[in-house]
Amino acid sequence: MTEDADGEDIGTRPRWLAAALPGAAAAALYAWAHWCLVSASAPSTGVAVVAGAVLVGCACAVYFALVSGSGGLFGALFLAIGPLMVAATADQLVQRTASATCVVRAVHDRKIAAFGEDGIAKTVYRLALDCPGGYPTEINSDRRIASEGRRVHVAYDPRHRVAPIAGEPNTPWKPGVGAVVLLLAATAFAARRRVPAGPSQFS
C-alpha cells in the first residue's frame, strides 16, 4: 500500500473521485440546463446542447479511466444517461409551471387525413378559451375534453415557449427518479471498485 505524507492510501483517491463524479456532473448539467432555459442571455439551443454533451462526454471519459472492468463500462453508461434525465427534469421544471381555470368559448374540430390505405383519419379539437389575464387563448387536443361554456384547467408556460395543454402543471418526478437511480448506480460501481494507483515506487 502506498501512502502520502499524511498516511492516506493514495490508491483510494481515484476511487472516491470516480464516486463523486456522477453527482458533480449531474449538478453541473442541471445548473447549465436551468440557466439556458431561464436566462435572457442564454446561448442558442445548439450551443447549449453541444456544451452539455461535451460536459457529459468528458465526465464519462474520466469515469471510465478511473473505474476499470465491466463496472466502469456500465457505470459510464449510467453516467451518460443519468445527466440527460437531469436535463429533462430541469426542462420540465421551468415549462408549463403556471395554471389557470378557463371557460371554453367555442370548440372547433378538423379531420387530419391518414397516410396509407389502412390509415385511420384523426380528429383534432381546438378549444377557444377565456382565461384570467387573457392567456392562454386556445388549446389543442386529440379528444373533446370540454364543451362550449364548460370550465377547463389549463397548464401553460408564462414565457410562451411551449403550447398550453389541459391538465396540471408539470411534475417531473419520472425523469427525476430515473436520474437518481442511474446516478446512484454509477456511484455504487465506482465506490465498490478499488482503482489501482499504479506501481508503488517502493516495490
pLDDT in tens, 150-198: 999 999 888 887 788 888 776 778 888 999 999 999 998 888 755 444 5
Domain count for the chain: 2
32 and 117 assigned to the same domain: no
Q: pLDDT tens digits, residue range 55-76?
A: 999 999 999 888 877 888 888 9
CA–CA dist 82, 79 (Å, integer): 5
89 and 140 assigned to the same domain: no
pTM of the model: 0.61
Residue 27 belongs to domain spanning: 12-95+171-192
CA–CA dist 29, 35 (Å, integer): 10
112 and 74 assigned to the same domain: no
108 and 176 assigned to the same domain: no
Q: In angstroms, what CA-CA distances link 126 with 96, 147, 155?
A: 19, 11, 15
Quickly state the pLDDT bin for 134 (edges 50, 70, 90). Answer: very high
175 and 151 assigned to the same domain: no
Residue 71 domain-assigned (yes or no)? yes
162 and 102 assigned to the same domain: yes
122 and 111 assigned to the same domain: yes
Residue 198 domain-assigned (yes or no)? no
Quote the crossing angle between the two packed helices 69-94 and 173-192, to the nearest 10°: 160
Picking from 87, 92, 91, the residue whose alpha carbon sits closest to that of residue 182 is 87
Residue 6 domain-assigned (yes or no)? no
43 and 112 assigned to the same domain: no
